[in-house]
Homo-oligomer: A and B are copies of this chain.
Amino acid sequence: MAEPLRIALAGLGTVGIGVIELLETNRSTIERRAGRELQIVAINARDRSRDRGIDLSPYIWVDDMQAMAERGDVDVVLELVGGSDGPALTLARAALDAGKGFVTANKAMIAHHGLALAEQAALRGVPLKFEAAVAGGIPVVKGLREGAAANRIERIYGILNGTCNYILSEMERTGADFGDMLRAAQEKGYAEADPTFDIEGVDAAHKLAILAGIGFGARVDFDHVAATGIGEVRAADITQAESLGYVIRLVGIASLDRSEKRPTLLQRVRPCLVGRGHPLAAVAGPTNAVVAEGNFVGRLLFQGAGAGAGPTASAVVADLIDIARGDSGAPFSVPVEQLEQLAPADPGNRIGRDYIRFTVNDRPGVLAEITAAMRDAEVSIESLIQRGRDHEGGEVLVAMVTHEGPERCVAKALDLLDGSPSLTAPPLVMPILKD
């Protein structure tokens, strides 16, 4: 048996402790698969005194992360500290600089600084891996980078945030409104006390940008992911969608348009209508699912737990096993200097169908005003539902589904209606996921 792979672990939250427990529980399985022992040598966290319910005495406690990264008895640094910048990034740079392999579950850091870190890793000839940064336990980074490697990927999309999926599928199941289900998610531990990053789609956007980079062999471009959260989705939208044969899911979509001379990349996180027969429609609770469409393989689906200590530890340790086995491939599937710089697509060019929901005053002429705006913007309406008053205030919901057309027409129609006293709130537009 070869020498052990010696690991320094920074961050002893639930995932860090999960990694320690996994390496302990599955020790012999892992040794057989990795061909060598995976050995945690040094650990670090902010608060040494906290009781974490686990015996940490076998590991050397190191207070200074920089010093930990440079230890001679360490092969790989595992970062589970979190945060896109700050200590996590400092540690990453120090570790790679010291010629150590680097493994992380940090989606924010990889979305923002993954390219720079990949360059540094390439320069030092050491591995950089981040399976756990996308979709928790699901081996989708590997699935795209290696499993689907023979394909030109044309579209990647999926349910990338378990908190939002839990809330939406519970709204569907119970008929309750967003606020109540957010509180339920917080009580169950599926949502943080401050849920902003999840609810507003930022977390999903981080993951999407990373997936797009790997799938398309492109430079990660988080700044051009347009994210809309689920805070505006109402129970009534879910009911309307249901009556039309759809469910609502927060979907991150990255699609490559090669029809123009210069290919363009559209990256969006949006609540979408998903046809009931689509595999994503069956994904309920805090589960993640990713679909990749390749030009030879067709549609691949990867599904599993998107978060939690066990699943995240599983992905982290899979990376460590890969390193132990000698994997040293490019983190984003092709060498960083060969990644394509894709121009962001104009979302107005998207050809598709949309669900549009208006909240309007219940008075004569409102429907005429809305439909006239649609006509003037050349939006063709496939179906329209107006339901009686929801509330006593006289507010009425008008929901419609458009025929396929350029999204810029929908935007134009909304512009025409902007400021109209008939509307009581900004309209909500949700794309209908193409099969």
Contacts and interface: CB of A to CB of B under 8 A. Distances in A.
B305 A303 contact: no
Interface residues of A, number: 64
A299 interface: yes
A310 B150 CA distance: 10
Interface stretch (A63-71, A98-106, A136-144, A204-212): A136-144
A418 interface: no
Given A25-B295, A142-B142, A318 B150 contact: yes
A174 interface: no
Interface in A285-314: 289, 294-305, 308, 310-311, 313-314
Given A29-B217, A146-B321, A322-B146, A305 B311 contact: no
A314 B151 CA distance: 7
Contacts of A328: 326
B294 A299 contact: no
Contacts of A277: 282, 284
A279 interface: yes
B139 A143 contact: yes
Nearest to A320: B150
B296 A314 contact: yes
Contacts of A149: 30, 33-34, 317-318, 321-322
A314 B294 contact: yes
A26 interface: yes
A205 to B, nearest CB: 24
Contacts of A314: 148, 150-151, 294, 296-297
A331 interface: no
A145 B29 CA distance: 12
A22 interface: yes
A334 interface: yes
A350 interface: no
A329 interface: yes
Given A33-B333, A217-B29, A317-B150, A300 B298 contact: no
A13 interface: no
Given A298-B311, A304-B298, A304-B300, A318 B146 contact: yes
A152 interface: yes
A325 B334 contact: no
Contact of A297 (B295, B296, B304): B304
Given A150-B313, A152-B29, A137 B300 contact: yes
A263 interface: no
A161 B236 CA distance: 41
A147 interface: yes
A18 interface: yes
Interface in A249-290: 277, 279, 281-282, 284, 289
A284 B276 CA distance: 13
Contact of A32 (B18, B304, B308, B338): B338
B302 A33 contact: no
B137 A297 contact: yes
A327 interface: yes
17 contacts: A22-B296, A26-B152, A32-B217, A33-B145, A33-B334, A137-B300, A139-B148, A142-B142, A142-B147, A143-B143, A146-B322, A148-B314, A150-B316, A279-B282, A294-B314, A300-B302, A301-B303
Interface of A: 18, 22, 25-26, 29-30, 32-35, 131, 137-139, 142-143, 145-152, 217, 277, 279, 281-282, 284, 289, 294-305, 308, 310-311, 313-318, 320-322, 325-329, 333-335, 338
